[in-house]
Amino acid sequence: MKAIVYRKYGPPDVLRLKEVERPTPTDDEVLIKVQAVSVNRSDWEILTGTPLYARIGGLLRPRHQILGSDIAGRVEMVGRNIRRFQPGDEVFGDILGRMGGFAEYACAREGALALKPASMTFEEAAAIPQAGVIALQGIRDKGQVKPGQKVLINGAGGGAGTFAVQLAKSYGAEVTGVDNEGKLDFMRSLGADHVIDYTREDFTKNGQQYDLIIDVVAHRSVFTYKRALKPNGSYFFVGGSVATLFQILLLGPWIRRTTGKKIRVLAVRPNPKDMVHVTELCEAGKVVPVIDRRYPLREVPEALRYLGEGRVKGKVVITVEHNN
């Protein structure tokens, strides 16, 4: 089968389209004929090896040689212990733990998959697993957003951010989206009440305070985030610099004890139930999976380069064509 392979950390230039052996599912796995796979920030981080936490399990060389985690496709073969799926089923899921999505075939554990709704395309389904679940757990579960609350999404124009803006609005929040100048109108189109160009304005220094901050691209001091929170407000780190991550882990509990403001890491739990809930919201018209661009499998390097430049509005999806 064809797959995009890399053997050392670096820019998209280290990726190669190669013929590799098709994976064989274990007794507890499903083999999927991949139709679409979306590109995530995690793919960029594991490709480049930065931040440092992206090298967990492979300090000097990548642990997995094929990237890609958010897949959608048809079940080709099932292991002997599989009960929920059978060949021909259309499924989607998050295989971040083993990767391998940028290929014609990929294996996944049964618990990582859900049936794809017939009303959704493979591309739309592939856009949901990581980004949609991050947003859902941040807004609904951890943030517990209520009508009238002020919510800020930093990185609102990206994959998880676009879902977070729409979800926060569906819960009745007053939403502020932060991203670059090229995404201001896009964030407004998602429903954001206020938009901020981070190159011109620092949301931690404009005097505004929020009930909830979801930060996809954290790089500031925890004390600046504390300043931007209302009393008893919550801040959740989704991704960003190692320095900020360590500050949150070390100082977050102290800040909560002394001020009541909660500054924490969003510990996302991938699960099919939440993926299905996001598809139900999509089918109800409450949320739209926004796909900026589509690329064929051979152009994964270009897709990752586009994501790395920070210009993606929503999601980038790889479409996988099969000759047979």
Tokens of 217: 């691209």
CA atoms lying within 13 Å on the CB side of residue 45? 17
Strand partners for 214:
153, 236
Q: Within a 10 A sphere around the Cβ of 200, how many other Cβ atoms? A: 8
At 60 the three-state DSSP class reads coil
How far apart are the C-alpha atoms of 183 and 169, rounded to whole Å?
18
130-265 placed in CATH 3.40.50.2000: no
pLDDT digits (tens, 9 = 90+) for 68-93: 999 999 999 999 999 999 999 999 99
CA 118 from centre of chain:
23
Tokens of 41: 């920030």
Grade residue 324 by pLDDT with cuts at 50, 70 and 90.
low
Grade residue 166 by pLDDT with cuts at 50, 70 and 90.
very high
pLDDT at 52: 86
pLDDT at 56: 86
pLDDT digits (tens, 9 = 90+) for 192-210: 999 999 999 999 999 999 9
pLDDT at 53: 86
Full-model pTM: 0.95
Q: Within a 10 A sphere around the Cβ of 282, how many other Cβ atoms? A: 22
How far apart are the C-alpha atoms of 275 and 133, rounded to whole Å?
6
pLDDT at 64: 93
Per DSSP, 240 falls in state B
Strand partners for 296:
319
- Tell me if 2-127+289-319 shares its fold with 130-265: yes
Assign residue 5 a region: left if phi > 0, alpha if psi is -120 to 50, beta otherwise? beta
Architecture of domain 2-127+289-319: Alpha-Beta Complex (3.90)
Domain ranges across the chain? 2-127+289-319, 130-265
Grade residue 226 by pLDDT with cuts at 50, 70 and 90.
very high
pLDDT digits (tens, 9 = 90+) for 251-284: 999 999 999 999 999 999 999 999 999 999 999 9
User: What percent of the chain is predicted at pLDDT more than 90?
Assistant: 96
Question: Mean pLDDT of all residues in the chain?
Answer: 96
At 259 the three-state DSSP class reads helix
pLDDT at 323: 79
- Average of pLDDT values for 17-38? 97
Whole-number Cα distances in Å, 234 to 216, 240, 264: 14, 17, 8
Model confidence at 57: pLDDT above 90: no
pLDDT at 76: 98
Grade residue 35 by pLDDT with cuts at 50, 70 and 90.
very high
